[in-house]
C-alpha cells in the first residue's frame, strides 16, 4: 500500500531553538477560571511579555477578536507593540508550546513545514482541550504551509532538539500510559525519527515534583549548542527532586554527541521551593525562551538564585541579551515562559 512520504524522507529536520527565528507564537488567556485572583496581573504581565519579545522579532498571538481590544490596550501601556500580530483564534489554555505547531526546515533551509501531533492535555488531566488540539491545523491554514499530521500524542515541551539529529525527552512522559498506551519505546523512537528527521533519542527519566505534564524536558534539560547541555540540579539531598535530578545527571553524562563525544554539561540550580495551597509548584529556570539576540528567563523573586540562573544562562548564550521576567504569578498555573511560547524558524529565500 502506498504511503505518503514522511518529513524525514523529504529532508526536513527539527532545528534547534537558537537558530534564526521568523516569529514566536503565544496564546492569550481567554478563560476566567485560570489563575484565580491573579488573572488580571497575569494578563498585564503577558502583554508586557509580548512587547518585550517583540523587541527582538515578530510576535504572533492567538487571541479571539472580542478580547483583542483589551490586549491591545494592555500592550500599549507596556510599550511598542508594532511587531505584534493578533490572530483571531480562541484557545482553551495558554500553553501553546505543547499544542502548537512544531516547525521543521528542509536541509537547505529554504522550506518550512509543520508537524501536528495529537494533544490530550497531558494525559487527559484537563477536559478543555479540543480547541488547543485544533490550533495547529488552523495556524497551518493561515500560514499556507505544508502540515504533517500524526496520531501519536506528543507535546512540544516534551522534546528538545540540538538541530543535529538528536532530541532529548523523558520516559515519564513519552512512555506514560496516559499518552500512547500500547506503543513501545522502539515504536515511539521510530515515529519521532520519521516526524522530526532525527537519528537518535536521548532519554532522561523523570521530572519535577508538581509538574502537571508528568515531567517535561523543558523544565529539566536544554541543549545550548549541538554538543552542550544545560541541566537542572538541586544541591539539597533532602529536596524532593534530588534523587530524580541526580539520576538525570548520570544519564546526561553518558550521552554522546552525533560525533561520539561526551556532552559538555553545565548545571543550572532550581529555585527554592515555591508552594501554592500546600502543593509544590514546578518552578524551574530551565523554562526560558530563546529569541533572536535574546533569552528571556523566568525569575521567582529570589535575588541570589535568580542572579545565579541569569549569569549561568548568559554564559551559555554569549552575544544574546539575557533578561529576567518575573514568573511568580504565572507559575501558579504550572508553567513559565517556554511553556507558553512556540518558535517559528526563519527560511532562507
Tell me the catalytic residues.
339
Taking the C-alpha atoms of residue 202 and residue 160, their distance in angstroms, rounded to an integer, is 10
* Spatial distance between the Cα atoms of 15 and 164, rounded to a whole number of angstroms: 8
Quote the CA–CA distance of 218 and 14 in Å, as a whole number.
16
- Per the CB < 8 A criterion, the answer to whether 92 and 31 are in contact is yes
Is residue 92 a contact partner of residue 130, using CB atoms and an 8 Å limit?
yes
Query: Positive or negative CA dihedral for 311, 55, 337, 290?
Result: negative
Q: Find out whether 145 and 114 touch, Cβ atoms under 8 Å.
A: yes
Assess contact for 345 and 21: CB atoms under 8 A: yes
With contact defined as beta carbons under 8 Å apart, do 48 and 55 qualify? no
Neighbours of 36 (CB within 10 A): 12
Report the 10 Å Cβ neighbour count for 19. 15
**Using an 8 Å Cβ cutoff, are 42 and 330 in contact?**
yes
What pairing do the DSSP bridges indicate for beta strands 289-291 and 294-299?
A: antiparallel
DSSP string, 164-218: SSEEEEEHHHHT-TTTSTT--HHHHHHHHHHHHT-SEEEEE----TT-TTSS-GG
Phi, psi of 156 (to 5 degrees): -65, -30
Residues 6+ apart with CB under 8 A from 35: 29, 42, 329, 332, 333
Which helix or strand (DSSP H or E) is residue 275 part of?
strand 275-276
Amino acid at each position: 500500500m502506498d504511503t505518503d512520504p514522511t518529513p524525514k524522507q523529504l529532508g526536513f529536520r527539527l532545528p534547534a531553538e537558537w537558530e534564526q527565528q521568523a516569529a514566536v507564537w503565544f496564546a492569550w488567556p481567554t478563560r476566567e477560571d485560570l489563575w484565580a485572583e491573579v488573572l488580571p496581573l497575569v494578563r498585564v504581565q503577558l502583554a508586557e511579555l509580548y512587547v518585550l519579545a517583540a523587541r527582538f522579532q515578530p510576535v504572533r498571538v492567538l487571541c479571539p477578536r472580542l478580547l483583542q481590544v483589551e490586549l491591545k490596550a494592555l500592550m500599549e501601556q507596556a510599550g511598542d507593540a508594532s511587531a505584534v500580530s493578533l490572530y483571531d483564534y480562541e484557545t482553551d489554555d495558554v500553553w501553546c508550546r505543547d499544542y502548537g505547531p512544531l516547525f521543521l526546515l528542509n536541509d537547505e533551509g529554504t522550506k518550512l513545514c509543520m508537524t501536528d501531533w495529537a494533544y490530550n492535555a497531558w494525559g487527559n488531566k484537563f477536559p478543555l482541550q479540543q480547541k488547543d488540539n485544533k490550533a495547529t491545523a488552523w495556524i497551518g491554514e493561515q500560514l499556507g504551509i505544508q502540515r504533517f499530521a500524526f496520531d501519536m500524542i506528543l507535546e512540544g515541551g516534551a522534546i528538545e532538539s540540538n538541530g543535529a539529529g538528536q532530541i532529548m525527552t523523558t520516559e515519564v512522559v513519552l512512555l506514560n500510559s496516559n499518552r500512547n498506551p500500547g506503543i513501545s519505546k522502539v515504536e515511539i523512537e521510530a515515529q519521532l525519527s520519521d516526524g522530526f528527521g532525527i537519528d537518535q533519542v536521548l532519554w532522561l527519566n523523570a521530572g519535577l515534583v508538581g509538574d502537571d505534564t508528568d515531567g517535561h524536558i523543558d523544565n529539566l534539560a536544554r541543549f545550548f549548542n549541538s554538543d552542550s547541555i544545560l541541566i537542572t540540579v538541586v544541591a539539597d539531598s533532602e529536596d524532593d527532586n534530588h534523587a530524580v535530578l541526580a539520576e538525570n545527571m548520570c544519564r546526561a553524562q553518558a550521552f554522546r554527541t552525533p560525533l561520539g563525544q561526551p556532552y559538555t554539561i553545565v548545571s543550572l540550580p532550581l529555585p527554592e521551593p515555591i508552594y501554592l495551597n500546600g502543593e509544590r509548584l514546578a518552578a524551574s529556570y530551565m523554562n526560558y525562551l530563546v529569541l533572536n539576540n535574546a533569552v528571556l528567563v523566568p525569575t521567582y523573586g529570589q535575588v541570589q538564585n535568580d542572579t545565579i540562573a541569569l549569569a549561568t544562562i548568559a554564559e551559555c548564550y554569549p552575544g544574546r541579551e539575557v533578561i529576567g521576567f518575573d514568573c511568580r504569578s504565572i507559575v501558579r498555573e504550572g508553567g513559565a515562559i517556554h511553556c507558553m511560547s512556540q518558535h517559528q524558524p526563519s527560511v532562507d529565500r
